[in-house]
Amino acid sequence: MAAKITIEAQQKGDAWECRVTVAEGKSQTIHTVTVERTYRDKLVGTEVPVEQLVRKSFEFLLAREPKESILRSFSLPVIGRYFPEYEKEIRRACGL
């Protein structure tokens, strides 16, 4: 069964704070992800909405680990520390 990903993004200055809920069956996890504007712009440009970037990032993570293993709070660039292929794969996933 595919996970259901819900994202609520709130802009705070030059960043977004995203509350991400990942639900599978009757269990769910909640994560807080910070996306700096400069990182988003460098990674995928200004045409990709932050919600799409975060959704694709969680799809990337869920393909590699269970939702319970994903950090509860992190800044988006942290993914690349654990998965060096992240930036290349996320650009492709966003159609770039």
Q: Is the pLDDT of residue 11 over 70?
A: yes
Q: How far apart are CA 59 and CA 65, in angstroms?
A: 10
The predicted model scores a pTM of 0.95
Q: According to the model, what pLDDT value does residue 58 have?
A: 97
What is the DSSP annotation of 52-95?
HHHHHHHHHHHTTS-GGGS-SEEETTHHHHH-TTHHHHHHHHTT
At 3, the pLDDT band (50, 70, 90 cuts) reads confident
Distance from C-alpha of 92 to C-alpha of 11, rounded to nearest angstrom: 25
List all residues 6 or more positions away from 36 whose beta carbon is below 8 Å from its beta carbon. 14, 15, 75, 76, 77
Say how far apart CA 96 and CA 90 lie, in whole Å. Answer: 9
pLDDT bucket at 1, cuts 50 / 70 / 90: low
pLDDT for 69 beyond 90: yes
